[in-house]
Amino acid sequence: MSKRTAIIDIGSNSARMAIFEKSSRFAFHLINETKARVRIGEGAYNFGGFLQEPALKRAFNTLEEFNSIIKSYKCNKVLCIATSALRDAPNASTLINKIRNELHINIKVIDGKKEAYYGAIGALNYLKEIQEAVTIDIGGGSTELAKIEKGIIVDTISLDIGTVRLKELFFDKKNTFK
């Protein structure tokens, strides 16, 4: 049987899953790609980063659907990472434990610098011959930047500024800017 790996990315705004099949020693191809608008960070930024119940339910239901797809493709391995919303949430372990216990998916929460690094790796692998660049990944809860010099990642930074966070902290409150 072919070796198949599912990779899940849980962000503040959406969750994505890609399933790859190994086709030779050094090659693989994409056989499924799924995205869901989970908005796990919704409402959290107004409550000290605590993930809210409706968002937790949406996240669990999405991962339950992803798990069904994973089983239908008979994946040998599942890699699941989470970023800003779970990184910042004081109650993240509630969701992480529920998913591990009920769906048997282990979630690894990565820090912002690693998130920025992975984004830069993606750019270096996808775009031809990058020598000098800055990558910018604007997410729902954070924004990651990486500096590339001579084709090598030399620095990364993560800022707690994302589209969902900004919307909830400033625009939803109808604050005026002076």
39, 41, 22: which is closest to 30 by C-alpha?
A: 22
135, 134, 143, 136: which is closest to 166 by C-alpha?
A: 143
Residue pointed to by tokens 């990315």: 9
Backbone angles phi, psi at 11, to 5 degrees: -105, 180
pLDDT at 21: 95
pLDDT at 176: 58
Determine which helix (DSSP H) or strand (DSSP E) holds 117, and give its type and residue range.
Answer: helix 112-126
pLDDT, tens digit only, all 178 positions of the chain: 569 999 999 998 899 999 999 988 888 899 999 999 999 988 888 888 899 999 999 999 999 999 999 999 999 999 999 999 999 999 999 999 999 999 999 999 999 999 999 999 999 998 888 899 999 999 989 999 999 999 999 999 999 999 888 888 887 766 555 5
State the fold for domain 112-171.
Answer: Nucleotidyltransferase; domain 5 (3.30.420)
* Domain 4-109 CATH class label: alpha beta
Domain with CATH 3.30.420.40 in the chain: 4-109, 112-171
33, 8, 27, 157: which is closest to 86 by C-alpha?
A: 8
Q: How many CB atoms sit inside 10 A of residue 176's CB? A: 4
